[in-house]
Amino acid sequence: MIAEVYIDIPANPVNKPFDYQVPEPFSDILAPGMRVTVPFGRMHRLGFVTALKESSEFTRLKSIDTVEDHLPVLTTELLKLGRWLADTTVCATVAAYQAMLPAAMKADYKKVIKVEDPEQLENDDPNLAEFFRSKRQALWSEVVRNDSELLNPINRALRRGSLSIHQLVRNQATAKQVAAVSVAVSKERLNLELLQLNDRAKRQKEALNYFIRQSDSAAFHPTMRALIDEGLSRDAILKLAEKRLLRIDQIEQLRNPYKRSIEHTEPLKLTDEQANALAPILHSMDKPEHRVFLCHGVTGSGKTEIYLQSIQHVLEKKQQAIVLVPEISLTPQMVLRFKGRFGDHVAVMHSGLSRGEKYDEWRKIREEKVQVVVGARSAIFAPFNNLGLIIIDEEHESSYKQEDMPRYHARDIAIHRAQGHQCPVVLGSATPSLESFARARKQVFTLLSLKERVNHRPLPSVHIVDLREEMRQGNHSVFSKELLEKVKDRLQKKEQTVLFLNRRGYSTFVMCRSCGTVVECPHCDISLTYHRAQHLLKCHYCGFEQKVPDTCPTCGSDAMRFFGTGTQKVEAELNRLIPEARVIRMDVDTTRKKGSHENLLRQFGEEKADILLGTQMIAKGLDFPKVTLVGVLAADSLLHLADFRASEKTFQLVTQVAGRAGRHSLPGEVVIQSYSPDHYAVLDAAHHDYEGFYNQEMALRHRGGYPPFFYLAMVRLTHPEPAKVAEAAERIAMILKKQLSGSSQIYGPVVPAVSKIKDRYRYQCMVKYKREPALLPVLHQIMQHFQESGKNGLQVSIDLNPVALM
């Protein structure tokens, strides 16, 4: 038998599989989608088996060293999806495969086979039972190397459940190990020991009795912790273990990050609008057919309940569902809503989990122990076999686009997978992306509208404050008079306030007052950001840090001053203006520790604070009944980014933040402070006017020739030497101009707004096109040709439908 193997080198210019001989012991267990180690060049490398066949056109094939998996980690569907992904995002196929797997599987890891049910194993396969009698567990890699004739029986036993397989993440910091205690001898032996024990060994007798009572169930492996909680003595257990009556194993615990008991919720009675939106989704599922729904519902219109009830239907049909939420709104609150309805049927995947935890969640999906996954972008690759529905909440979020290879958009993957499974996709948002709304207008997507909040709660009333006017009146505070008044008012009424500060483009930098010099990163073309906690200047691109200079590096003056506003500074100002207010600050600094995000929100929910002050991470998904005031400190900090999506982002953000107010019985109010109070993005958001914004923005995009009227493709290049990168960019622009049709426009090469990152100079070429069949072939050709120049030389990356033009 021959296996086709993609070698695990993402930058490999040879983007094709290699043939390997499959040695005898592996031929029965090997399947496409498993990983193997193979000799490659002078090294041994990991690879993905993508196909098995009888013969090869090559002679003298090398053989596979070992098989790494007992189950395919990639399903047939995902293997195919990977090839499609590689083709359409212009990357190596293995890079696509890697992106589909949890990080723990890329890490250094060991797999252990353990006996689950010794009796069944004895019945099924006495040989195997004998093998495990002496060791009780074995490393997969050692079995593969030394006892490969056992692989087949082991695989059978794994399927029957008498053996189980566990993955140990070698980095102990990420794997949760616990001591588990089990009985090492027969029950008779324990009874005998009990009789022989000295009367003074009371604690040991107690422990023995405990295990004698329990030893009928073969799978009794309580943790040491649990035994101590039951009142047994650790010393006694350790002594019994020394006598080889009990055994203690370090086992990897299946981590459950949401072990807090979760209240079960029942489906709510839907409003008419909700029912009208749900019906066509269920209809598509039953047909079944592939269809993309765009659920456009104002904040608080009950979109999540529609998701929940459509998932209910998926479960009834014994199918599976993927729910994507942006990382930033994957708040405990959001997770609880899904766990509360579907309990253990739900796996959760987000970046707050350790590698080991992510792996556990992934394994639940792979082994079909759950039917629903709620997760951020990469959960779109969940290895479900029978998908019934894919939901993307906040579909306009730019975080659905991956910014590394493979540069995919989760929405595209969702639609592609759903086509294969003949199931619907539901895109939900209060502020759909222009791309999606335009498709709905053209009836490519089916539009579902929810115009009212649940129970007709009014949308909050919005006031716009002109910050320029405040300045003229001599108010240099970050708080306008109006906002400050209203915050004080809520304080008196014992209601809560959310204050939102957009950090991007608004972070603190250090500038010389005499000559205007801004302290910049020596490696990147960007100013350094002041971090007050450590009193350091840091580069947000490369991590470079330095002390705050006492004197100006250019003119030597000592008038170095801080500019801009960070959350810390706002907090300090709040403390000064309203000392009695209790403030919770949420930003990257206060939420770095695991669980702190959840803790801070819980405290706010329990009304242990009056004001929640935060960045993007509080813009979404929060739902607190006592919040009646939302303040946006500077609505236009995004507007001035050099990006054709700046207005769209501003509109979305302001709408989202405003949606946090007055979601329950108390009416809500929003104050938007802005330096451009007349900008349509700010005004339309204040008037809750999505369509007004859409029409105006579409007209501008049409005039400028931007998406969704045109598609964009970006080729980015970097090199340590400016001349080299300029020359290569010139050549690439030439190739594009020569090979693409006349209807496509090529812009560049140009130097982007940030011209240098990590000591590498940057250039880019942009292609604007409507229909361009030659584009993908040309881009693949460019990638192959320019990638060979090696690591320290030129780096080329290709980004189709880029979300940022920088």
User: Contact residues for ligand ADP (CB under 6 A)?
Assistant: 268-271, 274, 297, 299-305, 454, 623, 663
Shortest distance, position 711 Cβ to ligand ADP, whole Å: 30
How is 285-343 classified by DSSP, letter by letter?
A: HHTT---EEEEEE-TTS-HHHHHHHHHHHHHHTT-EEEEE--GGG--HHHHHHHHHHHG
Shortest distance, position 537 Cβ to Zn ion, whole Å: 11
- Cβ nearer to ligand ADP, comparing 389 with 478: 389
The DSSP symbol for 377 reads G
Q: Which of 406, 577, 426 is nearest to 487 (CA)?
A: 577
> Which does residue 576 touch among ligand ADP, Zn ion, none (CB within 5 to 8 A, set by kind)?
none
Shortest distance, position 84 Cβ to ligand ADP, whole Å: 32
Shortest distance, position 275 Cβ to ligand ADP, whole Å: 9
Count of chain residues binding Zn ion (CB under 5 A): 15
Shortest distance, position 300 Cβ to ligand ADP, whole Å: 4
- Cβ nearer to ligand ADP, comparing 97 with 338: 338
The answer to whether 541 contacts Zn ion (rule: CB under 5 A) is: yes
> Which does residue 552 touch among Zn ion, ligand ADP, none (CB within 5 to 8 A, set by kind)?
Zn ion
Longest dimension (CA), the chain: 96
Q: Cα–Cα distance between 317 and 744 in angstroms, integer? A: 46
> Which does residue 539 touch among ligand ADP, Zn ion, none (CB within 5 to 8 A, set by kind)?
Zn ion
Using the CB atoms, write b or e for 447-472: b if 16+ within 10 Å: bbebebbbeebebbebebbebeebee
Shortest distance, position 762 Cβ to Zn ion, whole Å: 13
> Which does residue 454 touch among Zn ion, ligand ADP, none (CB within 5 to 8 A, set by kind)?
ligand ADP
Q: Which of 298, 207, 384 is nearest to 660 (CA)?
A: 298
Shortest distance, position 651 Cβ to ligand ADP, whole Å: 17
Which residues, numbered 323-362, are part of the site for Zn ion (CB under 5 A)? none
Shortest distance, position 375 Cβ to ligand ADP, whole Å: 17
Contact (CB, 8 A) for 466 and 683: no
- Cβ nearer to Zn ion, comparing 50 with 508: 508
Cα-based distances in Å from 731 to 735, 757, 763, 792: 6, 22, 12, 19
> Which does residue 190 touch among Zn ion, ligand ADP, none (CB within 5 to 8 A, set by kind)?
none
> Which does residue 555 touch among Zn ion, ligand ADP, none (CB within 5 to 8 A, set by kind)?
Zn ion
> Which does residue 696 touch among ligand ADP, Zn ion, none (CB within 5 to 8 A, set by kind)?
none
Helical segments of 215-288, H only:
224-229, 234-242, 272-286
The answer to whether 539 contacts Zn ion (rule: CB under 5 A) is: yes
Interface residue with Zn ion, options 512, 611, 617, 653 (CB under 5 A): 512
3-state SS class at 96: helix
Shortest distance, position 606 Cβ to ligand ADP, whole Å: 17
Which run of H or of E encompasses 24? helix 24-27
Contact (CB, 8 A) for 5 and 49: yes
Q: Cα–Cα distance between 684 and 655 in angstroms, integer? A: 9
- Cβ nearer to ligand ADP, comparing 305 with 636: 305
Interface residue with Zn ion, options 183, 464, 524, 767 (CB under 5 A): 524
> Which does residue 271 touch among ligand ADP, Zn ion, none (CB within 5 to 8 A, set by kind)?
ligand ADP
> Which does residue 274 touch among ligand ADP, Zn ion, none (CB within 5 to 8 A, set by kind)?
ligand ADP
The DSSP symbol for 532 reads T
Contact (CB, 8 A) for 716 and 764: yes
> Which does residue 697 touch among Zn ion, ligand ADP, none (CB within 5 to 8 A, set by kind)?
none
The answer to whether 523 contacts Zn ion (rule: CB under 5 A) is: yes
Which run of H or of E encompasses 733? helix 722-739
The answer to whether 536 contacts Zn ion (rule: CB under 5 A) is: no
The answer to whether 176 contacts Zn ion (rule: CB under 5 A) is: no
Who contacts 231 (Cβ-Cβ below 8 Å, separation ≥6)? none
Shortest distance, position 270 Cβ to ligand ADP, whole Å: 5
- Cβ nearer to Zn ion, comparing 559 with 699: 559
Interface residue with Zn ion, options 51, 192, 228, 515 (CB under 5 A): 515
Phi first, then psi, for residue 219 (nearest 5°) are -95, 35
Cα-based distances in Å from 33 to 148, 322, 421: 20, 21, 19
Q: Pattern of binders to Zn ion over 549-568, x per CB under 5 A?
A: ---x-xx-x-----------
- Cβ nearer to Zn ion, comparing 39 with 556: 556
3-state SS class at 201: coil
> Which does residue 302 touch among ligand ADP, Zn ion, none (CB within 5 to 8 A, set by kind)?
ligand ADP
- Cβ nearer to Zn ion, comparing 462 with 512: 512
Name the token pair of 781: 């050709």
Q: Which of 439, 502, 483 is nearest to 707 (CA)?
A: 439
* Helices and strands: H and E segment counts in the chain: 26, 33
Using the CB atoms, write b or e for 780-792: b if 16+ within 10 Å: bebbeebbeeeee
Shortest distance, position 541 Cβ to Zn ion, whole Å: 5
- Cβ nearer to ligand ADP, comparing 269 with 442: 269
- Cβ nearer to ligand ADP, comparing 270 with 666: 270
Q: Which residues partner with 520 through β-bridges?
A: 527
Place of tokens 């090529």: 746
The answer to whether 521 contacts Zn ion (rule: CB under 5 A) is: yes
Q: Which of 513, 632, 503, 508 is nearest to 564 (CA)?
A: 508
The one segment of 246-254, 259-267, 453-461, 512-520 that binds Zn ion by CB under 5 A: 512-520
Name the token pair of 143: 């079995």
The one segment of 179-187, 436-444, 541-549, 613-621 that binds Zn ion by CB under 5 A: 541-549
Residues in the chain: 806
Phi first, then psi, for residue 748 (nearest 5°) are 110, -175
> Which does residue 512 touch among ligand ADP, Zn ion, none (CB within 5 to 8 A, set by kind)?
Zn ion
> Which does residue 268 touch among ligand ADP, Zn ion, none (CB within 5 to 8 A, set by kind)?
ligand ADP
Shortest distance, position 427 Cβ to ligand ADP, whole Å: 13
Q: Cα–Cα distance between 293 and 447 in angstroms, integer? A: 6
Shortest distance, position 336 Cβ to ligand ADP, whole Å: 11
> Which does residue 304 touch among ligand ADP, Zn ion, none (CB within 5 to 8 A, set by kind)?
ligand ADP
Shortest distance, position 299 Cβ to ligand ADP, whole Å: 5
> Which does residue 449 touch among Zn ion, ligand ADP, none (CB within 5 to 8 A, set by kind)?
none
- How far the first Cα of the chain sits from its last, in Å, is 49
Residues of the shown chain interacting with Zn ion in the complex, contacts defined by CB under 5 A: 512, 514-515, 517, 521, 523-524, 539, 541-542, 544, 552, 554-555, 557
